[in-house]
Amino acid sequence: MAVLLCAVTSAVEAQTPKPKVPVAQPFGKVDQADLELKSCDFEKDANAEVLQETGDVYFGVDIMSITEEVHKRVKIFNTNGNNEADIKIDFYSGDHLEYITGIQAETINLTDGKVEITKLDKKLIYTKMLDKEYSEITFTMPNVKPGSIIEYKYNWNASSFTDMPDLYFQEKIPVRYCEYTTRIPDVFYFRPISNLSQALDKYVKNSEGKSLIEDGQTYPFTEEVETKGMSNVHSLPDEPYMSSFTDNVQSLRFQLVSIRPIGGFQKNYSDTWAKVGGHLSDDEDFGGQLKRKLNGEEAIIAKAKAFTSNNEKIAYIFNQVRDAMKWNGSDRWYTNDGTYRAWENKTGNSTEINIILYHLLKQSGVEAYPMVVSTREHGKVNPFYTSLAQFNRTVVYIPIDTANRYVLDATGKYNVYNETPQELLNSTGLYIDKSNNKYDIIHIQREAPVRLAVMVNAEIKANGKVEGSAQISNTSYNRMNVVEKYKKDGEKKYIDYLCKGDNNLKISSIKFDNMEIDTLPLTQNINFSLDLPATDENYIYLTPNIFTPIEANPFLSENRITDVDFVYRRSYSMNGLFKVPAGYKVDAKPQNISMTMPDKSFSFRRIVVEQDGQIMIRYNVAYNVPEYSKEFYPDFYQFFKKMTEMMNEQIVLKKS
């Protein structure tokens, strides 16, 4: 049995904390001022605020395990903040790798000037298995109301020295103070992977001499102790066109790079993607499922082999699996029940469904590989952080030629075989070629812009009404989104969606072409009428921007916290032909204009022509990049503000 002896402290490196940095308080000790606090000092409209969160991370006596002592205290300002009282703690319970101990929780209220403490009944702490690898502890804090302070603490324990916890300094509510201390033996070198944009308000570093005694032998080592504190951290806002919370939250992760055994030589421990891929291949819940036979597979494989082209085989098998299987909503990189049982029950997690797809494709002679990926909500994969935890789904990767490839995901009922699902774009996948012992990462993106074209042909009536037809052509993700929305919501709700809450716009009929043909653009043929409410006996005012996706500007804030993420490049075109009523002439019309961002990332062009009693107008908008840095947001903001104004500029007709 190993015993750890504390010894001497040595050098100290410190940055003097700012005077206003709060001091973390122990559990149960609360200031009167916090009980009387009515709002967050630096984010006045917050419904709740983290008063403090601390974490103390240290290794066990044998330096083979890790514990984090977590303490969190939250102030509830109003009833909209009450959901902060519902606590969930997820952990990896497979093989008892992680487990939670020492939960204590209480709610503190100020009632008639007296402090009232309500302890959480431990019988109301529930543990449930999410699947065979993950579990979740849940409890709801008692006696919570506006003005309450809730606090809880627990120990998160990991039985592996490689499993350093991620440290989060930011949340969806403001954080007054957050402090983490890590105590790492110099036996291990962990590379910090920082996603911090705000400066630390507290940083203290020191080292302590320690000894490990094992079998009568004494092994000295040094424990490196670092404390990092950050105060007044604004909540992470939900901004238009932002990537996931995980991508943007201020956090610190650790990757084990090397180990220097006490009395031994340093060994490189850093995983490579090849090692991660090899681990997947050997895992029973992943590699062990790839060749597993499925009931009735012979008929599907025989029919697929009868097709002459690979594309026909791929399309057939993809549609068979997509239509037969129901996704249970669970995303994991591993199978839970296994592919055989999932196929029998016709339901499974995303990896079970897509390994079934891979297996059938492979047996049909298609060169295909399973590939682990991360969905948009789960967060983008950092290719320099070789951790399997970054992935949460398996899909199928098919290289077509040096320039083209398919990424197939049969979990979505409206996915198609030749379009990478948009929730996987702009991230990284790791594909597994087990037979050749090859494992490599690829960047998943769409190069070509996704196009949408609108054509309007209408007549302006003297009574201030517009009547006409419109044709909307959708490709790629636009097509998939329209098909899904129409089939899920039905025609009436879809028409309401097209009208965007404009009571003056009426759609009398809508007809679709190529709804069931994935490889062709989806065309919507619309008959409509539009009342022009500003019309009087002398003037008619028309905004010709009808049925385009650019009407209201989503970027209203002059400041931006996160990068803008459109997911893919976009191209919009709108052509309108409007007949002027007899007895009217054009009094004012939009001018021809062309705008381009200095870096060519976005462009807008408008052409207006008046001829033979008709007005022809054309808009062309190009998003030439899928993502745009927040550093250049001021230019971006001005461009979108101006472009939206130009899109909505009116044509004015005057009675002759």
Contact 156, 100 (CB under 8 A): yes
CA-wise closest residue to 458 among 450, 448, 466, 449:
466
171, 195 Cβ separation under 8 angstroms: no
Name the DSSP letter for residue 403. S
Structure tokens belonging to residue 195: 């996603």
Contact 70, 155 (CB under 8 A): yes
DSSP class of residue 287?
G
> Among candidates 604, 605, 599, 606, which has minimal Cα distance to 635?
599
Contact assessment for residue 613 and residue 580, using Cβ atoms and an 8 Å cutoff: yes
Report the alpha-carbon distance of residue 71 to residue 68 in Å, rounded: 10
The token pair at 229 is: 């504190």
Is 255:270 a contact under the CB 8 Å cutoff? yes
The pLDDT score that the predictor gives to residue 265 is 60
How far is Cα 62 from Cα 161, in angstroms, rounded to an integer? 10
| Angle separating helix axes 310-324 and 350-363, nearest 10 degrees | 150
pLDDT at 260: 85
Q: Determine the CATH number of domain 450-655.
A: 2.60.120.1130
Euclidean distance between CA atoms 159 and 100, whole angstroms: 11
Cβ atoms of 109 and 118 closer than 8 Å: yes
- Give the single-character DSSP code of 507: E
How do 251-259 and 188-195 pair as beta strands?
antiparallel
pLDDT of residue 254: 96
CATH number of 273-444: 3.10.620.30
b/e sequence 34-44, b meaning 16+ C-beta within 10 Å: bbebeebeebe
Whether the Cβ atoms of residue 643 and residue 595 lie closer than 8 Å to each other: yes
Q: For the residues of 364-396, what is the DSSP string, one character each?
A: TT---EEEEE--TTT----TTS--GGG--EEEE
Q: How far apart are CA 510 and CA 8, in angstroms?
A: 80
Which residues does 258 contact at the CB level (< 8 Å), separation at least 6? 188, 189, 266, 267, 268, 269, 270
Q: At 258, which amino acid appears?
A: S
Strands 593-596 and 505-513: unpaired
The pTM of this model reads: 0.91
Classify residue 129 by burial, with Cβ atoms within 10 Å: 0-12, 13-18, 19+: exposed
For residue 339 the two structure tokens come to: 């592919």
Tell me which residue of 203, 198, 202 sits closest to 233, measured CA to CA. Answer: 198
Residue numbers of the chain with a pLDDT score lower than 70 = 1-19, 262-266
Helix, strand, coil shares of the chain, percent, nearest 5, are 20, 40, 40
Same fold, 273-444 and 450-655: no
| Residue located via tokens 């993420």 | 565
How far apart, in whole angstroms, are the C-alpha atoms of residue 639 and residue 647?
12
Domains of the chain, residue spans: 1-19+179-270, 273-444, 450-655
Task: Report yes or no: 7 and 143 within 8 Å, Cβ to Cβ.
Answer: no
C-alpha to C-alpha distance for 620 and 609, rounded to whole angstroms: 15
User: What's the rounded Cα separation, in Å, for the pair 499 and 508?
Assistant: 12
Per-residue pLDDT tens digits for 81-121:
999 999 999 999 998 999 999 999 999 999 999 999 999 99
CB-based contacts of 282, cutoff 8 Å, min separation 6: none
**Pairwise CA distance, residues 379 & 334, whole Å:** 18
